[in-house]
Amino acid sequence: MKIAYRISEQDYMNAHDLFVANEKPLYRRFSRRLMPWLGAFVLALQAFFLIVEPHRDLVLVVVGCLVGLLLLYLGFALRRYFRRAYQKDHRYKHDFTAEISDEGIHVVTPFSDSQLKWNSFVRFLESANIFMVFVAEWNFIVFPKRAFAPGEADQFRALLQHNIAPPN
């Protein structure tokens, strides 16, 4: 099957959401979700202590606020990293063509021509709108489901399930 598509920013951010939802080990996923809340809590605690004890040591207030802001930022940093990666990468402003067969996936862009055999993929993820096929832990290809003709998404899923070993 042959598909042609362009990856939108929404597709790429869907990839972020899918990546985070399936992140291993489990503690990383929870720590990413917990960091913004913890940062907001530290900032609120600093504000509370300033109200209760207005003549507190200014250094402690500044350090506490910086820690709170850092935790708040780190909670959203991965999403920002994905968005910035999409915006900086000029390949996403052009069409991709992928030919999917029993041998692998042949992806052609204005900048590259890659033939990837099935054994080069380590895992895949699927959401309602996209497929993510991973060559390494942080290296993946996004295939929007809208690029497939009716029934082709099911064929692609079957190829992925048959050719890519499930992660241990």
Instruction: Give whole-number Cα distances, 30 to 27, 33, 38, 56, 138, in Å.
Output: 5, 5, 12, 33, 19
Question: Could you tell me the pLDDT band of residue 20, with boundaries at 50, 70 and 90?
Answer: confident
> In the numeric block, which tokens belong to residue 43?
């900032």
Count other Cβ atoms within 10 Å, centred on residue 140.
Answer: 20
Q: Which H or E element spans position 25? A: none
In this predicted model, what pLDDT tens digit does every residue of 39-80 receive, in sequence order? 899 999 998 988 888 887 888 888 989 999 888 887 777 778
Flag whether the pTM goes above 0.85: no
pLDDT tens figures, 67-121: 998 888 877 777 788 888 889 988 888 999 999 999 999 999 988 899 999 999 9
Closest CA to 81 of 8, 7, 6, 16: 16
CATH 3.40.225 given to domain 2-7+94-163: no
